[in-house]
Amino acid sequence: MATGAGDRYWAGQALPSVFKHTLLDKYVPQFAGMTGSIGRRVVYLDGYAGRGRYTDGTPASAEKILMVAQSQFERVGLAWICYFVEQDPESARALGDVVGEYVAKGVTALAHRGDVQDVLDQVVASAVGCPLFAFLDPCGLGLPFDRMSSLLNGERKKDWPPTEFLLNFSLDAVRRIGGHVTGQRNEATLRRMDDAVGGRWWREHFAGGVNDAAVEAVVAGFSERMSAATGMHLVAVPVRRAPTHKPVYDLCPAPGSVEARN
């Protein structure tokens, strides 16, 4: 289950967000500029968008991309279609306000309040014939494995136009849920992890308790299974709160994909 991000999270950008936002800033405009140069159109999904902007006024993931979309449309006529999804009502309200500001400036963008899974089919349908970039940044577990792999097969299986993902794979969630294997068992929680990683295979790694090797084995197993199921290549980049801390997530770019962890 993906969990929420409250007022403290949105007070200002914390260190683990700097890396993923820098990747968005540096990579997504290049991806759009290069892959969108033929059809002059790209589709972008921020499936766990949050509030769009921090309380201190700093752009968060949604506003960063809205700024790029506005700039590329005005400078080179590249048309972006942006989808932003947020489940929490308060965050969705704030996100809607930020998206509205850019829609008023001519950006084509939709803010949806609800589950990211509500919009996946619409996003894929609107991206037929053009590049698609998706940023999936849950606080906890993300899309079910089967939903994610079916999304990356079908229409998006083709080499061109390309599909790339930046995925936050939460290691904090893996550690926490891994503790249920030998500790106080919550079957529903264990099954949510089964759904997220594509089966019960991960549980055996925690038979000896929660440790770094078990967490690494889950990341490796997930990457291998997702690559096998979709033909995409995932690269896991560990992201920490501080140099001496354990990684909070892997950021996973998938070209046909990009991957990240926290």
Ligand X SMILES: C[S@@+](CC[C@H](N)C(=O)[O-])C[C@H]1O[C@@H](n2cnc3c(N)ncnc32)[C@H](O)[C@@H]1O
> CB of residue 140 vs ligand X: minimum separation in angstroms?
8
The answer to whether the CB of 84 falls within 8 A of the CB of 59 is no
DSSP state of 156: G
Q: Provide the 3-class DSSP secondary structure of residue 29.
A: helix
Compose the 130-159 pattern: x for residues touching ligand X by CB under 6 A, - for all others: -------xxx--------------------
> CB of residue 262 vs ligand X: minimum separation in angstroms?
8
CA distance 192 to 22: 30
**H/E/C letters for each residue in 55-94?**
CCCCECHHHHHHHHHHHHHHHHCCEEEEEEEECCHHHHHH
Q: Does 49 bind ligand X (CB under 6 A)?
A: yes
Span from 35-43, 71-79, 87-95, 197-205 in contact with ligand X (CB under 6 A): 87-95
Q: Does 101 bind ligand X (CB under 6 A)?
A: no
| Closest by Cα among 76, 96, 1 to 33 | 76
Q: Binding ligand X by CB under 6 A: which of 16, 29, 36, 50?
A: 50
Span from 43-51, 180-188, 233-241, 246-254 in contact with ligand X (CB under 6 A): 43-51
Q: Binding ligand X by CB under 6 A: which of 32, 45, 48, 219?
A: 48
For ligand X, the closer CB: 106 or 114: 114
Q: Please classify residue 235 by burial: count the beta carbons closer than 10 Å to its beta carbon, then call 0-12 exposed, 13-18 middle and 19+ buried.
A: middle
Binding footprint of ligand X, residue count (CB under 6 A)? 19
Single-letter amino acid code for the residue at 241: R
Partners of 249 in beta bridges: 170, 239
Q: Does 116 bind ligand X (CB under 6 A)?
A: yes
Q: Which helix (H) or strand (E) holds 165?
A: strand 163-170
Q: Does 4 bind ligand X (CB under 6 A)?
A: yes
Q: Does 258 bind ligand X (CB under 6 A)?
A: no
For ligand X, the closer CB: 66 or 214: 66
CA distance 251 to 260: 1
Q: Binding ligand X by CB under 6 A: which of 72, 91, 163, 223?
A: 91
For ligand X, the closer CB: 138 or 256: 138
Backbone φ/ψ region at 209: left (φ over 0), alpha (ψ -120 to 50), beta:
left
Q: Binding ligand X by CB under 6 A: which of 2, 124, 171, 232?
A: 2
The answer to whether the CB of 259 falls within 8 A of the CB of 223 is yes
Length of the chain as a residue count: 262
CA distance 258 to 32: 14
> CB of residue 207 vs ligand X: minimum separation in angstroms?
29
> CB of residue 208 vs ligand X: minimum separation in angstroms?
30
**Contacts to ligand X by CB under 6 A:** 2, 4-5, 17, 48-50, 60-61, 85-88, 91, 115-116, 137-139
